[in-house]
Amino acid sequence: MATISKKLASLINDQINAELYSAYLYQDIADYYHGEKLIGFAKWFDKQAEEELEHAKKFIDYLRDNGEKVVLKDIKAPKNKFKGLRDGLALQLTHEEAVTAMIYRLMDQAVEEKDYRAQSFLKWFVDEQTEEEAHSHELLEKFDLYGSDLSVLYRLDSELGGRK
């Protein structure tokens, strides 16, 4: 069986917690938009939450494949106070930027250890973060351009609701 360093295993355990927290965070944002009757926005963030659970699962599988124990830690509750419709979108962008920094930290460790398998595994997350940041940025930009126009906002909502 393949192995990884205790240090990398510990960082991955932290990342599992971070991915599960991301799911919590996006679920909270989804519920906010649901309350504002923006059902498409809510669906977008429901999907984001689901994706984060998949990310956690990928890290769990990686630890298992390397004979390391998964250590599940407490997930902190999101304490978001949304003052307006822009806040959920802005939060998504700053959160994804923070997650990218965490993935880079993992990659730095894998590079330092010359763990090529870990680097290959983590590359998927590096690419995923590029996509996540681009989507988050685009959505916020659209909102800033058109969000004050109610008819456009509702079109954006139905566009987001069409996400597969």
Alpha carbon 120 to its chain's center: 20
User: Which residue, 43 or 55, has its beta carbon nearer to Mg ion?
Assistant: 55
Residue 48 vs 157, nearer CB to Mg ion: 48
45 or 157: CB nearest Mg ion:
45
State in angstroms the smallest separation of the CB of 152 from Mg ion.
Answer: 29
Q: Considering CB under 5 A, how many residues would be counted as binding Mg ion? A: 3
Of 109, 104, 93, the residue nearest 7 (C-alpha): 109
Site string for Mg ion, 5-24 (x = CB under 5 A): --------------x-----
95 binds Mg ion per the rule CB under 5 A: no
Other Cβ atoms within 10 Å of 42 Cβ, number: 23
Among 55, 88, 118, 136, binds Mg ion (CB under 5 A): 55
Cβ neighbors of 29 (< 8 A, separation 6 or more) are 45, 48, 80, 82, 88, 91, 92
Of 138 and 144, which CB lies nearer to Mg ion in the complex structure? 138
- In whole angstroms, the minimum distance from the beta carbon of 133 to Mg ion comes to 11
Residues 6+ apart with CB under 8 A from 59: 12, 15, 16, 19
- Smallest gap from residue 83 Cβ to Mg ion (A): 26
Residue ranges in the chain assigned as alpha helix (H) = 6-35, 39-65, 85-112, 116-146, 150-161
Residue 42 or 49: which CB sits closer to Mg ion? 49
User: What CA–CA distance (Å, rounded) separates 86 from 77?
Assistant: 21
Contact set with Mg ion (CB under 5 A): 19, 52, 55
